[in-house]
Amino acid sequence: MQVEIWHNPACGTSRNALALIRHVGIEPVVVDYLRDPPDVARLRQAIADAGLGVRDAIRSKQPEYLALGLDDPGMPDDALLAAMVATPVLINRPFVFTPLGVRLCRPESAMVLDVLPPCDKPFAKEDGEVVIDAAGQRVR
């Protein structure tokens, strides 16, 4: 199965999603989206394929969000998308793409399991929180 993740290694949620992908036996294509951001068309498609609105995929806690005036509720999606591509730290992460679908795995990295093959091996996140228990059942 081909899997791609838009990854930020400094982000715990992103690291845990990547670890879950690898845990099910898949080595994904890892895209450092901060260094190599998607173009507007790809970002728009990723957001749509994940079933989200543009505002759902923007990191509103970043200082750049307010600095660029992106909190204006009247700002059109095209302007938000352009800002996200120009300042990729504004793109929420991690986005994961598989043949089973696209997910923005936030706020919970375990959302990646929705688009991966089943796994019955136990898994705990880097903070020790159990995601797949000893019986192979998803906890969250």
pLDDT recorded at residue 17: 97
Asked whether residue 19 is assigned to any structural domain, the reply reads: yes
Residue pLDDT, tens place only, 22-66 = 999 999 999 999 999 999 999 999 999 999 999 999 999 999 999
Which residues constitute the domain of residue 97?
1-33+93-140
Residue pLDDT, tens place only, 13-23 = 999 999 999 99
How many domains does the chain divide into?
1
Asked whether residue 131 is assigned to any structural domain, the reply reads: yes
What would the DSSP string read from start to end of 66-121? HHTTTT-TT--HHHHHHHHHHSGGGB-S-EEEETTEEEE--S-GGGGGGGS----S
Active site residues: 11
The CATH number covering residue 123 comes to 3.40.30.10
Asked whether residue 2 is assigned to any structural domain, the reply reads: yes
Residue 140 has pLDDT above 80, yes or no: no
Asked whether residue 97 is assigned to any structural domain, the reply reads: yes
Give the mean model confidence (pLDDT) for residues 76-100.
Answer: 98
